[in-house]
Amino acid sequence: MKDKMNRILSFLIVALTFVSCSEYQKALKSEDNAFKSKVAEAKFNDGKYKKALRLYEQVAPAFKGKPNAERMFYFYAKSYYETKQYYLAGYQFESFVASYPKSEKREEAAFLAAECYYKLSPVYSLDQTDTDKALGKLQKFIDTYPNSEYLPKANEYFKDLNEKLEKKAFEIAKQYHMLADYRYEYNVALKALENFIADYPGTPFKEEAMFYRLDSAYKMAMKSIPSKKEERLNYAKTTYTSLVKFRPETEYKEKADKILADIDKELQQYTNSN
């Protein structure tokens, strides 16, 4: 009896699957856009996002600009989102927000649009154009919906992207410092590190950046022409003071103290000559 029930159940499942597939194939070939849209939503609700999207792509041009197409365009955008096509999803969500300003889904769509751009942001080592764009989209959402239920997530995304740009800026400044020994461009490295410290005062990389600034300032001073050497040595000494003031027990203390000793030794010649 149990085996018979299992066979009947299996038959029903196969039959339903066949009917569902037949309906989908019928919708693909149909000229009835309302039918296509209905089947597309059914596929979406079943988690068959690629199939739903294929149907939505067919009917979207016919519904564009029509006020009764709000539901269809929401699911259309969401289908792109669920299939991880974030460029297209972001565009469709933004289009939805613009087309249906009174929709109850407007706030969610605006957030999902911003989230799509967040997901397009690459790792910090690559070009950050999409990260800048995502920050702009998130800021717009935060300003437009300050009491949104999505605000905590939007702020989290915003913070994450800023930290990515911060790491990118630090790695660039650090690279200038690392290359300075080969190119003797200590002034370039120094400027990059100073800009980074000024632009990101609360950065977790501040201690490391301040030591690299000291190291670059010291090396630039030591290789300077006589007319500029004293001034640059004194500046290097101020960068040491800034470092130990910021972090008295810095992990770079031993190296920094050695640099300071070299600076003071060089400065003695100017003290003795005065």
- On whether residue 223 sits in a domain, the answer given is yes
Task: Please check whether residue 17 lies inside any domain of the structure.
Answer: no
- Identify the DSSP state of 224: S
Residue type, 185: E
Whether 129 is in a domain gets the answer no
Say how many CA atoms lie within 13 Å of 17 toward its Cβ. Answer: 6
d(CA 190, CA 180): 9
**Burial of residue 222 (number of CB atoms within 10 Å: 0-12, 13-18, 19+):** middle
98/198 Cα distance (integer angstroms): 39
According to DSSP, residue 204 is labeled T
Q: What is the model's pLDDT at position 32?
A: 75
Residue 120 lies in a domain: no
Q: Is residue 239 part of a domain?
A: yes
The residue range of the domain holding 201 is 184-273
Measure the CA–CA gap between 238 and 254, rounded to whole angstroms.
17
Q: Which of 46-60, 152-166, 232-246 has the lowest mean pLDDT?
A: 46-60
Let me know if 12 is exposed, middle or buried by CB neighbors in 10 A (0-12, 13-18, 19+).
exposed
Q: How many domains does the chain have?
A: 1
Residue 122 sits at φ, ψ, to 5 deg, of -80, 180
Per DSSP, 251 falls in state T
Query: Does some domain include residue 242?
Result: yes
Distance of CA 241 to the CA centre of its chain: 35
Which of 29-38, 110-119, 142-151, 199-208 has the lowest average pLDDT? Answer: 29-38
In a domain, 85, yes or no: no
Nearest residue to 37 (alpha-carbon basis) of 93, 65, 79: 79
249: its two tokens: 């027990």
**What confidence tens digit (pLDDT) does each residue in 155-177 have?**
999 999 999 999 999 999 999 99
CA–CA distance, 262 with 240 (Å, rounded to integer)? 12
pLDDT at 236 over 60: yes
pTM: 0.79
With respect to residue 52, please indicate whether it lies within any of the assigned structural domains. no
